[in-house]
Amino acid sequence: MLAAITQPTNEGNPSTVAKALTLYDRVYGCLLGQALGDAFGAAGQMHCLPQPPVDDLQAPPAEHPIHGGLQAGEYTDDTIFALAILDSLLEGGKPNAASIARSFRAAIDRLGLTASRLIGPSTRAAIDAWQRGEELGRAGRFGWTNGSVMRVALVGLRYPGDLDATVEAAYESAMPTHNTDVAISSAAAIACAVSRAAAGNATVDDLIDAACTGAEKGSRYGYPFIAPSVSRRIRFAVELAQADKPVGERQRDIYDLVGTGLPAYEMTAAALAHVVLADGDPVQAIRLATNTGGDTDTTAAIAGALAGALRGAGSFPLAWVEAVNAANQVDLADYAQRYTELIQRDLRN
């Protein structure tokens, strides 16, 4: 049986003390942050600054070119593929690129995503390459966008505090579609930040340090691609987030100088910067990331997952949790319980 947990509340609980949480709290918090950030951010997706503010979990505008037709609480490909990876982990126990690729295919077929606007350019190109019979590693050799980053947070939970194992796991998750050094470096950064949060007794600064370590280690994997240093871009983004300026000006600096778009190196740094900007509060991180503009479902999903792993499931409003489960016909608490049991089996051995 799992230990008693902090449940989502009617108000959310941003002041939750990180070190007091159980592993289940962190796993469930990361899952909720991923899904809720994705769903919340979908309403502001691809807006440029200045943009109309998104203040609550709401449906994207009906005329939205990508997310029109989604209901309030419905998540996108970011979480669909994150859960596909989790399905693979729950089946096989450890991250494996071939198993993850099969899980991606199954999710695409089950949800009818082949012609969907939800699938990003690198993932779509890799899928086309698979269908032509190209081997798995080569299919992702041009994948430089943020698809590797948007789906990796749950992978970071698998080995709490073990950054070397987490980098290897991030590589396995990225390789089928994003087998470049920059995409793997970016995925490893986010996964290692989550791994550090999952280990407990962490601060936001600890997450940033772990992310930079992961970025450096992850840059040794994959096909070379012309791109800036992920770890240095993270440090730069954090400096902007910590500047002595009003929050809105810091958001503008992140948007203008770091970027919140498709490149993996932009998204990684921007998501971490929003966790810093929110001082680790998951709900605030999601709101800020959404209202900074750009690829907001992805920024908010990653920032929400990071902060959720740090602060736990009790940080999120119960109404949001009910909405995301209902809109997607999913039970995230059940996912969290099964994943926690898998992680704990390894920790006991």
**Lowest mean pLDDT segment, chosen from 18-22, 66-70, 78-82, 258-262:** 66-70
Higher pLDDT, 314 or 53: 314
Confidence (pLDDT) at 15:
40
Is residue 62 over pLDDT 60? no
User: Encoding tokens for residue 34?
Assistant: 């991923």
pLDDT of residue 2: 38
Instruction: Give the pLDDT confidence score for residue 115 in this predicted structure.
Output: 47
Does the CA dihedral 92-120-295-206 come out positive or negative? Answer: positive
Q: What is the pTM of this model?
A: 0.92
pLDDT tens figures, 104-156 = 989 888 877 654 566 778 888 888 888 788 888 899 999 999 999 999 999 99
CB-CB contact of 175 with 219 (8 Å)? no
pLDDT given for residue 16 in this prediction: 39
3-state SS string for 297-326: HHHHHHHHHHHHHHHCHHHCEHHHHHHHHH
pLDDT at 86: 99
Report how far residue 272's alpha carbon sits from residue 312's, in angstroms, rounded to the nearest whole number.
Answer: 17
263 bridge partner residues = 145
Q: Which residue has the tokens 């810091």?
A: 250
pLDDT of residue 65: 52
pLDDT number for residue 58? 73
- pLDDT, tens digit, for every residue of 2-41? 333 445 654 444 443 444 799 999 999 999 999 999 999 9
Whether residue 50 is predicted with pLDDT greater than 70 in this model: the reply is no
| Average pLDDT of every residue of the chain | 90
pLDDT at 73: 87
Question: Is the confidence at residue 247, as pLDDT, over 50?
Answer: yes
- Asked which of 38-52, 69-83, 201-215 is least confident by mean pLDDT, the reply is 38-52
Residue 161 — very low, low, confident or very high, per pLDDT cuts 50/70/90?
Answer: very high
Query: How much is the pLDDT for 347?
Result: 85
Using alpha carbons, select from 262, 264, 256, 261 the residue that is nearest to residue 240. 256
pLDDT tier for residue 46 given thresholds of 50, 70 and 90: low
Q: Measuring CA to CA, which residue among 36, 24, 11 is closest to residue 323? A: 36
Higher pLDDT, 341 or 117: 341
Give dist(CA 193, CA 306) in Å, integer.
7
Distance CA 239, CA 196 (A): 21
Q: Are 33 and 311 in contact (CB under 8 A)?
A: no
Please give the pLDDT value at position 218: 99
336, 31 Cβ separation under 8 angstroms: yes
| In the chain, % of residues over pLDDT 90 | 75
Q: What pLDDT band is residue 229 in, cutting at 50, 70 and 90?
A: very high
In this prediction, residue 48 carries a pLDDT of 65
Q: Could you give the 3-state DSSP secondary structure of residue 349?
A: coil
- Hey, what domains does the chain have and what are their CATH numbers? 18-348 (1.10.4080.10)
What is the phi/psi pair of residue 202, to 5°? -110, 155
Q: Does an H or E element contain 170, and which?
A: helix 163-174
Closest CA to 41 of 28, 24, 59, 29: 59
What's the whole-number mean pLDDT along residues 269-288? Answer: 99
Give the helix ranges, DSSP H, for 200-246: 204-218, 230-241
Q: Report whether pLDDT(1) > 50.
A: no
Both structure tokens of 327: 């809109």
The C-alpha atoms of residue 81 and residue 75 are separated, in whole angstroms, by 11
Higher per-residue confidence, 116 vs 269: 269
Q: Comparing C-alpha atoms, which of 117, 115, 89, 119 is closest to residue 102?
A: 89
Q: How far apart are CA 311 and CA 107, in angstroms?
A: 30
Is residue 4 helix, strand or coil? coil
